[in-house]
């Protein structure tokens, strides 16, 4: 018995020009309807307000669980409208900067810090990350040159 995933069946049917099989919708759907259905299934609705996402970010940041914070941020939708709304919130931006710093992605950290205005309450922490990131970059460059 050969089992195929629905995606594999859909891809094969679309490539051959046949209607795609979707048993959950009563059998075969025309390609345009199947594509629309697949697209709507691929992007789940985002039912949280930016303030709710910010509260989760703040809680995870305060707990010091940066790995979990990173996984949470990666799980957020990539929909441009949602991203735009989320990237206007200082707590979410600060969380993104913190994750970038801990991952050693200093270019992303600098981009976040340079392209947004933060309140004074965040300045000390963000400034410390900025300085430490520059120190780590110089240190890594020095180690590289010594080993070359």
Within 8 A by CB and 6+ apart from 32, the residues are none
| pLDDT tens-place values along the chain, 148 residues long | 344 344 444 444 444 454 444 333 344 434 455 444 444 444 455 678 889 999 999 999 999 999 999 999 999 888 888 888 899 999 999 999 999 999 999 999 999 999 999 999 999 999 999 999 999 988 888 767 777 6
Token pair of 30 as six digits: 């025309």
How far is Cα 74 from Cα 108, in angstroms, rounded to an integer?
A: 14
Residue boundaries of the structural domains of the chain? 6-42, 50-147
| The model's pTM | 0.66
Query: Helical H runs in 43-105?
Result: 50-63, 66-75, 80-86, 90-103
């Amino acid at each position: 018995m050969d089992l195929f995933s629905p995606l594999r069946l859909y891809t094969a049917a679309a490539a051959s020009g046949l209607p795609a099989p979707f048993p959950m919708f009563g059998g075969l759907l025309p390609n345009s309807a199947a594509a629309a259905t697949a697209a709507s299934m691929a992007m789940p609705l985002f039912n949280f307000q930016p303030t709710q996402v910010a509260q989760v970010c703040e809680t995870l940041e305060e707990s010091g669980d940066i790995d979990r914070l990173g996984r949470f941020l990666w799980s957020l939708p990539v929909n441009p409208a949602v991203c735009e709304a989320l990237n206007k919130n200082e707590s979410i931006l600060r969380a993104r900067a913190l994750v970038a710093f801990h991952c050693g992605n200093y270019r992303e950290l600098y981009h976040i810090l340079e392209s947004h205005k933060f309140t004074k309450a965040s300045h000390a922490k963000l400034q410390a990350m900025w300085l430490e990131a520059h120190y780590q970059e110089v240190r890594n460059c020095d180690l590289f040159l010594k080993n070359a």
